[in-house]
Amino acid sequence: MDLNTYLQRVNLTDCAPPSLSALRELHRHHVHSVSTESLSIHSGEKIILDIPWIYDKKVVRRRGGFCCENNGLFFWVLQQLGYQPRILSARVLNPVIKIFGPPFDHMLLTVELEGRRWLCDVGFGEGFIEPFPLEAGWEEEQDSGVFRLQVEGDEWYLERKEEETWKILYKFTLEEREIEDFVEMCEYHQTSLSSIFVQKSFCSLQLPCARLTYMGHRLISTKYMKGGGSVKTTQELTEEQIPGLLRDKFGIVLSGKLIPKDEDVVIPSQHQSVRFTVEDMLIKCG
């Protein structure tokens, strides 16, 4: 694994010594270069929670992936650059049934710099673009929306503003975790019939003040508005158009044949299908 090759992957020629400005630039370049996607599941590829394997997939083969892949790679990069990142576990709020997922549902990181702790998350659907201060009540507008942190006891809540309403994205504690702690949930996300990643073939990439998402037989373009909210447009795709679209819009060429999928999601506790909207999916795809 080579750090310079990673920097080229995220469109950086070099990286300054650890500082807040350097971390912001690195975080922003990563989310603008590496997508969140479930394409491995739908093209016959097993996902392995192993840093050399993840490096090969994302850097050498120029792919995206799950939160634990994206943030796992970013964790290694930060260590190589001299930061001291810590891994946290989050539970994503299901936007339909309003129930949080199990522990290790989502991985995120923290870094301490300049006397403050910062959240780093390069693997969440509609997440922040630059590191976010780990401070209760902190509210900040970034290119991808308006975010804030709330805290109750030992649980922290990341929220995103939609028009005039605050919506919880996920909750987490500050207990430090290890990458190996996420192996079971990584397996669940790629095998369970209740997993959105299994039910939907998708690929989503942050752009400056916008987001581009392939899902099933659709291409969804999202433009973020000042003060919260967004405007979305959808284009229907034929199966023949999808490989070229993934190559031209996301820089992704799959080694196996993709089977497009956009099915109803089975909620485990109710054993019934629920149709997720595009907005729900973009929030849930962590």
Residues acting as catalytic residues = 67, 106, 121
In angstroms, the CA 210 to CA 108 distance is 22
Q: Which residues pair with residue 213 across a beta bridge?
A: 204, 220
Give the pairing of strands 139-142 and 106-113.
unpaired
CB within 8 Å of 62: residues ≥ 6 apart: 9, 251, 252, 253
Cβ–Cβ under 8 Å, residues 74 and 131: no
Decide: 116 and 134 in contact? Cβ < 8 Å: yes
DSSP label of 193: T
d(CA 191, CA 135): 36
Query: What gap in Å lies between CA 100 and CA 106, rounded to an integer?
Result: 11
Q: 237-263: buried (b, 16+ CB within 10 Å) or exposed (e) per residue?
A: beeeebeebbeebbebebeeebebbee
